[in-house]
Amino acid sequence: MAIEIDKVVSLEYKLTEKGGSDVLDSNEGQAPLEFITGKSQIIPGLEKQLAELSKGDKAQLEVPAAEAYGDVNLDAVDDVPKEQFAGIELEVGLPLFGQGENGETIQVVVKAVNEETVTIDYNHPLAGKDLVFDVNVLDVRDATADELSSGQVGGGHCDDGACGCG
| 74-121: CATH topology | Thrombin, subunit H (2.40.10)
Is 24 within 8 Å of 48 (Cβ atoms)? no
pLDDT value of position 24: 96
Task: Tell me the three state secondary structure of residue 102.
Answer: coil
Residues of the chain with CATH 2.40.10.330: 74-121
3-state SS track over 46-92: HHHHHCCCCCCCEEEEEECHHHCCCCCCHHHEEEEEHHHHCCCCCCC
157 has pLDDT over 70: no
Phi, psi of 74, deg, nearest 5 = -65, -20
Phi, psi of 50, deg, nearest 5 = -65, -30
26 has pLDDT over 70: yes
Is 120 within 8 Å of 110 (Cβ atoms)? yes
Q: Taking residues 23-41, what's their average pLDDT? A: 95
pLDDT value of position 163: 44
pLDDT value of position 23: 97
Q: Taking residues 88-107, what's their average pLDDT? A: 88
8 has pLDDT over 90: yes
**How many helices (H) and strands (E) are present in the chain, helices listed first?**
2, 9
- Name the pLDDT band for 100 (thresholds 50, 70, 90): confident
- Name the pLDDT band for 154 (thresholds 50, 70, 90): confident
| 7-69+127-150: CATH topology | Chitinase A; domain 3 (3.10.50)
- Per-range mean pLDDT, top range of 6-10, 98-102, 157-161: 6-10
Please give the mean pLDDT across all residues of the chain.
91
pLDDT value of position 155: 72
Task: Tell me the three state secondary structure of residue 131.
Answer: strand
User: Rounded distance, CA 22 to CA 16, Å?
Assistant: 6
pTM for the predicted model, two decimal places? 0.80
Q: pLDDT (tens digit, 9 = 90+) per residue, 110-137?
A: 999 999 999 999 999 899 999 999 999 9
Q: In what order do the strands lie in the sheet with 105-113?
A: 77-81, 117-121, 105-113, 95-99
- Name the pLDDT band for 156 (thresholds 50, 70, 90): low
Residues of the chain with CATH 3.10.50.40: 7-69+127-150
Q: Taking residues 49-67, what's their average pLDDT? A: 97
